């Protein structure tokens, strides 16, 4: 008991201390930065700096060596706001760009952070590594299986450091839980549950099409996606719920949980996938992707069940998001707030006993320091030129993204689909295989590597 209590206290202290720092005001972040010689600085450019792009840059500022040299966004109001934020932290404004290709021509930039909508990840990442830049790219890695494969080929060809923003990989308690899963103490694991129940996500109201706001290059925002009239619902955060640009909660939240689940279980691809769900909670709202979904992935010797729901928080084991490894001896439940062991029981000499020692539920601060730790890991990999030290390199990011896309493909086809790992496609299924591909439009072409 004392060992478990000590572990929980140490974990809580470590995460609370670093986590509090990660959300400090810009002025406090600036005050905590140590002076660094110019030749030791890593000059960053940010492509897509409204949401996670800016969160990632803030996290990198806490490494001291990070300097924000340039920002790129299609929205001038975002550029101006983030330029002011950068100036508060580092004392000077970055160069502004509307076209990411111009940013990549800047020889002073060492690394780029890609925080664009998913449908832009492939083009910007491939062009960045081709331009000699290291890359931190937001999850999911790409908006299609084909794009994932292209991006992996580009990373290999150009040999640059590429970190994917699945930052749960940098959480200390995640590593502890993964070690426990791999120890065999849970016994034979026959089912892994992964889920995201997001009560704060309310219906997306139906809005009329209109004109893009002043200062927004909407043509550039669309990029390779189908041309449609501007609609505020499809812009900034809500792009996630439209198939042209993303894959809904399956790829938005799913890659975080699927990544940890498959990494700890030591598998890469399923044998089959089937999915059922739809717009069951809010059938008349503006979004396209399902608000309710259950997906079963069949791997060798175990199944994985993905579940998501918007508008409710009633997730498994009383957690809104997480992973549960269900074994013969016990179930390990893991999420951003900690992990616990729920033992099975057995009867010995007429006495009911636990098969393994229990671990009480923890209540660590959500998100905590993982994002900052992920940024520090990326910077250290650049400094040491060590791809193998990355917590979530491009191969890891591709596994999670490809599996999530398989789930969406099973949902779209409405049937069980079977994966051929040797061929890298679905067995005898032209419809499913067509959904592996990307459809680039408007003069943009899928990169050739």
* Number of neighbouring beta carbons within 10 Å of residue 447: 17
Residue that finishes a domain, picked among 168, 186, 205: 168
The number of beta carbons lying within 10 Å of the beta carbon of residue 82 is 23
Tokens of 114: 């890609």
Total structural domains within the chain: 2
pLDDT in tens, 47-100: 999 999 999 999 999 999 999 999 999 999 999 999 999 999 999 999 999 999
Same domain for 188 and 97, yes or no, is: no
The pLDDT-based confidence of 17 (bands split at 50, 70, 90) is very low
Summarised one tens digit per residue, pLDDT across range 237-259 is: 999 999 999 999 999 999 999 99
Q: How confident is the model at residue 4 (pLDDT cuts 50, 70, 90)?
A: very low
CATH code of the domain containing 90: 3.40.50.720
Same domain, 55 and 152: yes
- 348: domain range? 171-365+404-430
What is the pTM for the complete model shown?
Answer: 0.92
pLDDT tier for residue 367 given thresholds of 50, 70 and 90: low
Instruction: Report the DSSP beta bridge partners of residue 191.
Output: 303, 326
- Over residues 369-401, the pLDDT tens digits come to 889 999 999 999 999 999 999 999 999 999 999
Q: Is 393 domain-assigned?
A: no
CATH number at residue 251: 3.30.360.10
266 or 364: which carries more pLDDT confidence?
Answer: 266
Same domain, 177 and 163: no
- Whether pLDDT at 12 is above 70: no
C-alpha 52/C-alpha 115 separation (Å) is 6
114 plus 262 within the same structural domain: no
């Amino acid at each position: 008991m004392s060992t478990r209590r000590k572990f929980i206290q140490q974990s809580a202290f470590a995460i609370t201390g670093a986590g509090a720092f990660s959300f400090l005001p810009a002025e406090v972040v600036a005050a905590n930065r140590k002076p660094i010689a110019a030749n030791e600085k890593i000059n960053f450019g940010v492509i897509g700096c409204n949401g996670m792009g800016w969160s990632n840059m803030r996290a990198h500022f806490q490494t001291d060596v990070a300097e924000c040299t340039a920002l790129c966004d299609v929205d001038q109001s975002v550029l101006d706001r983030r330029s002011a934020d950068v100036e508060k932290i580092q004392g000077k404004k970055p160069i502004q760009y509307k076209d990411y290709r111009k940013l990549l021509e800047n020889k002073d930039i060492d690394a780029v952070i890609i925080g664009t909508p998913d449908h832009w990840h492939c083009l910007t990442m491939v062009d960045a590594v081709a331009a000699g830049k290291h890359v931190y790219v937001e999850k999911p890695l790409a908006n299609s299986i084909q794009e994932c494969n292209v991006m992996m080929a580009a990373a290999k060809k150009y040999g640059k450091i590429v970190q994917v923003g699945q930052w749960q990989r940098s959480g200390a308690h995640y590593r502890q839980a993964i070690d426990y899963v791999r120890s065999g103490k849970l016994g034979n694991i026959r089912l892994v549950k992964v889920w995201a129940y997001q009560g704060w996500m309310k219906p997306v109201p139906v809005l009329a099409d209109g004109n893009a706001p002043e200062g927004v290059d909407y043509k550039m925002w669309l990029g390779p996606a189908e041309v449609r009239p501007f609609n505020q619902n499809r812009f900034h955060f809500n792009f996630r719920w439209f198939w042209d640009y993303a894959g809904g909660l399956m790829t938005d939240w799913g890659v975080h949980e699927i990544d940890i689940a498959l990494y700890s279980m030591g598998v890469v691809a399923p044998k089959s996938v089937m999915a059922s769900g739809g717009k069951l909670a809010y059938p008349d709202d503006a979004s396209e992707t399902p608000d309710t979904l259950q997906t079963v992935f069949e791997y060798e010797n175990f199944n994985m069940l993905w579940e998501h729901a918007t508008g409710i928080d009633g997730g498994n084991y009383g957690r809104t998001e997480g992973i549960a490894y269900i074994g013969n001896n016990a179930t390990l439940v893991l999420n951003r707030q900690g992990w616990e062991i729920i033992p099975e029981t057995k009867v010995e000499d007429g006495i009911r006993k636990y098969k393994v020692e229990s671990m009480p539920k923890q209540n660590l601060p959500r998100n905590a320091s993982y994002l900052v730790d992920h940024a520090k890991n990326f910077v250290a990999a650049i400094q040491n030129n060590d791809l193998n030290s990355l917590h979530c390199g491009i191969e890891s990011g591709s596994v999670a993204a490809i599996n999530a896309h398989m789930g969406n493909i099973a949902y779209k086809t409405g049937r069980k689909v079977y994966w051929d790992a040797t061929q890298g496609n679905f067995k005898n299924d032209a419809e499913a295989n067509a959904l592996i591909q990307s459809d680039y439009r408007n003069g943009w072409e899928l990169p050739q590597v």
